Copies of this chain bind each other. A is one copy, B any other.
Amino acid sequence: MANWGAAAQPGPLGVHTSANSRLFTFIGGETGNWSITATRRITGDPWTPAKKLMVVNGPASDLAGAKWLLRGVTTNERYVTRADKNELANRQEGLGRCDAVHAALIPIRKTAAWWALTQDERRSVFEEQSHHTAIGLKFLPAVARRLHHSRDLGTDEPFDFLTWFEFSKSNADAFDRLVADLRATKEWTYVERETEIRLVRD
């Protein structure tokens, strides 16, 4: 194999990852900085509980004791307008805040009907009918989040999206209202599988 077209070192079959990977791997098992306090089925098949979660920026390297792994990439936004994006940037705070010791990982899979919609139809459901961005903005900066896409990894992933949320103990109620508001939207009628994994930082 000669030309991989990238600076990173290729591994087997040319699968290689750069130092600044957009790939994140969530490993549920016996080790990690986060303790899983609840694994709650919201819609569809349940997910396997585990004790601890390890979050890796890149591919998984150590799967000793792992019960499951979920993978996703951060990528360009698919629906927000420039006005939305600026407003979000002004109000959100980063992950890793000292007092944000509570977290949630919410994997979601949307229906085939959702993916058969065109971009304008999905945008209409997402924002004009469901006010997804506006709901999220109401809970900024209390609830910080990072969205990962799993659908186009090229492998059979069990979910389309993984969203990671961090918040302080006093903002746990705000987080519960956020997800309740989203689950009441038209957009959520296109969710066929959802699990809510709640965690506390060790």
Contact = CB atoms under 8 A, between A and B. Distances in A.
A153 to B, nearest CB: 5
Most interface-central of A14, A15, A158 (chain B CB within 10 A): A14
Contacts of A6: 156-158
A94 to B, nearest CB: 18
Max chain B C-beta neighbours (<10 A), residue from A2, A5, A116, A157:
A5
A75 B156 contact: no
A2 B71 CA distance: 16
A54 to B, nearest CB: 14
A8 B85 CA distance: 38
Interface string A109-152: 00000011111110100000000000000000000000001011
Copies of this chain, complex-wide, total 2
A202 to B, nearest CB: 23
A69 interface: yes
Contacts of A80: 118-119
Nearest to A115: B76
Interface string A36-55: 00000000010110000000
B118 A73 contact: no
B67 A3 contact: yes
B63 A118 contact: no
Interface stretch (A17-25, A167-175, A176-184): A17-25
Given A4-B158, A84-B118, 6 more contacts: A2-B48, A3-B68, A15-B155, A17-B154, A77-B118, A119-B123
